């Protein structure tokens, strides 16, 4: 079986079955739908396999079309939209059981010098070494970890703020959240693996910011949640096996949809990735 990190790397190692066509595993899980971060990460692997190594990905824009079924392989069809002098564009369609479940467009850019350099500063938060891991914090409180926790095992995730466990603690809580994260072991040096591993992880906690003012992030949920779309911009190289700070906030939730955005910084304070996502939040019956 290997470690959870080994399993993540194996999950991102797609089988090429034809020119521009790849197949990925979908793990058996006791959950109703495939994890969106898995499909996004695999789709980006498929796109990256058709691009020269000197052109790293600089952005992706994706839509979750239908829920995937755990345990059923997913086929990724790559459309080579553009191979320009500086930019390369790929469109990827994820197909499961003959139906499209996910669509992604990714753009790759050959690095070049620029005349403008600025960024928002990294927030001042506790260092990851001074914070408990989410698995330890949640396990000590709940005793039994929820079934979806298997998706998080490849990563060490640490919340920068104390977790809330009851509605009584939510008074004045803003629609914000933040975590330190890194893989629970070293990754291969291939930059595409690091980008795709972080794409996988970026879908795990971003929508926490939408829920933070209305319910505890762990424990019994009052909403059925689903990712609707996902966008990422990759500004600088990074390693997903080094600590990264993922700050998240939600500017609006309305009409059963919540918008969340995030900035990801490395330990040096460099902004390496920006993320945006909209999620669907439907109240569960009887709650």
DSSP states of 40-75:
HHHHHHHHHTTS-TTS-EEEEEEEE-SPPPTTS-EE
Q: Which of 107, 156, 203, 208 is catalytic?
A: 203
Residue percentage of the chain with pLDDT more than 70 = 94
Please count the residues of the chain.
Answer: 287
pLDDT category at 225 given cuts 50, 70, 90 is: confident
- Is it true that domain 127-286 has CATH number 3.10.129.10? yes
Mean pLDDT of the 163-190 span: 88
CATH level 2 (architecture), domain 1-112 = Roll (3.10)
For position 47, what pLDDT does the model report? 98
**Residue 177 a catalytic site member:** no
**Residue 242 a catalytic site member:** no
Is there a common fold for 1-112 and 127-286?
Answer: yes
Give pLDDT tens digits for 115-152: 899 999 999 999 999 999 888 887 777 666 665 565 56
Give pLDDT tens digits for 70-104: 889 999 999 999 999 999 999 999 999 999 999 99
Domain boundary assignment for the chain? 1-112, 127-286
**Residue 227 a catalytic site member:** yes
Nearest 5°: phi and psi at 100?
A: -75, 125
Please give the distance of CA 131 from its chain centroid, rounded to a whole number: 21
Q: Which of 26, 42, 96, 227 is catalytic?
A: 227
Separation CA 170–CA 215 (nearest Å): 7
Token digits of residue 19: 């020119």
């Amino acid at each position: 079986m290997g470690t959870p990190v080994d399993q993540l790397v194996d999950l991102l190692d797609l089988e090429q079955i034809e020119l521009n066509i790849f197949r990925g595993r979908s793990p058996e899980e006791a959950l109703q739908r495939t994890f969106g971060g898995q499909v996004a990460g695999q789709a980006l692997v498929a796109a990256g396999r058709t691009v020269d190594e000197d052109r790293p990905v600089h952005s992706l824009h994706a839509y979750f079309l239908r829920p995937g079924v755990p345990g059923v392989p997913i086929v990724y069809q790559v459309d080579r939209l553009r191979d320009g002098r500086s930019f390369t564009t790929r469109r990827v369609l994820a197909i499961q059981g003959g139906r499209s479940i996910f669509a992604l467009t990714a753009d790759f850019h050959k690095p070049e010098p620029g005349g403008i350099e600025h960024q928002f500063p990294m927030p001042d938060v506790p260092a990851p070494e001074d914070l408990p891991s989410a698995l330890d914090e949640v396990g000590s409180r709940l005793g039994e970890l929820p079934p979806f926790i298997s998706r998080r095992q490849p990563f060490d995730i640490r919340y920068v703020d104390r977790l809330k466990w009851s509605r009584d603690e939510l008074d004045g809580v803003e629609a914000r959240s933040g975590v330190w994260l890194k893989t629970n072991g070293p990754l291969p040096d291939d930059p595409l693996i690091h980008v795709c591993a972080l794409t996988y992880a970026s879908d795990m906690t971003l929508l926490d910011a939408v829920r933070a003012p209305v319910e505890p992030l762990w424990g019994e949920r009052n909403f059925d949640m689903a990712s609707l779309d996902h966008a990422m911009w990759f500004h600088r190289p990074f390693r997903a096996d080094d600590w990264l700070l993922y700050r998240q906030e939600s500017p609006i939730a309305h009409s059963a949809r919540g918008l969340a955005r995030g900035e990801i910084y490395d330990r040096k304070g460099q902004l390496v990735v920006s993320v945006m996502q909209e999620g669907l939040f439907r109240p569960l019956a009887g709650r």
